[in-house]
Chain A
């Protein structure tokens, strides 16, 4: 799992609204640092890392909710939730395929056939989920989702 980015210059005795802006900005940058690789490569790690950092962001938004504008919060959170759902579908297939291939490798070659059938079905599922994710990421890019998330932070208002 990707390590969380450290948040420099965090003053624990400062008002929470000032710290919240810093924390959220770092977490948004963290999530978006994985976006190009999640979009362009077939590697499993960027999708996983983007999902984890997206979940971090989602949890923190929920906690800082009283400091954020209601309407924009609801709209952006539902979009983030949809993105996490699409990332989750790809990740679920990746986890399943990894465990399955590990189990298949432990069996003698003549016993692979019936399990390879399941692996092939899962590969097809993964491809479908990946296509949907790519479409979603491109749509969010066009809709300037990153900038909208940043504008939610308390100090931007």
Chain B
């Protein structure tokens, strides 16, 4: 869960739509702030998990605004849901791998005290399952990376902001920083 900052809380005097125009891009920036960790450090489990958690408030706020902003906004929400789903599958695989590796050690220790060879637990099935889960993880990780790279290439943030501004009744004033690019992105 992301920390509460002035950028991620509502402004009392503004309308629901005006608050959406401020909140959604801010929450999106927090979500993608860790995209480089995702792309460059595939084994950094904590970083991937943190990115997934910071995407959840964005998703839940966008769900509320789905009825306020139009179809394009709903499409952006679907994209975000898909990425969070892929990151979730990567996380589930990471948890399962740790459990299986711990179990493998336990079984090895248990086998040392079992005298009868036929009574010992087989290690190979556990190793096979670990290898399979690793393959699954690699597949989900690659899917997530492909999506993030596509977002970068196709300027997903701009599309998201436009989807809110293009709504017929969107009249909220938005600062230039929100309209064009996120605070973290460098000018070319």
Contact = CB atoms under 8 A, between A and B. Distances in A.
Contacts, number: 115
Interface of B is mostly: helix
Categorize the interface residue count of chain A.
Answer: 35 or more
Residue of B15, B57, B64, B107 contacting most chain A CB atoms (<10 Å): B64
Contacts of A100: 96
Interface string A1-31: 0001011001111111101100100000000
B100 A118 contact: yes
A20 B10 contact: yes
Interface of A is mostly: helix
B99 A10 contact: no
Contacts of A114: 103, 107, 121-123, 125-126
A50 to B, nearest CB: 15
A53 to B, nearest CB: 10
A124 to B, nearest CB: 14
B9 interface: yes
Contact of B16 (A10, A62, A104, A118): A10
Given A113-B122, A117-B107, A62 B14 contact: no
A65 interface: yes
A23 B64 contact: yes
A2 to B, nearest CB: 11
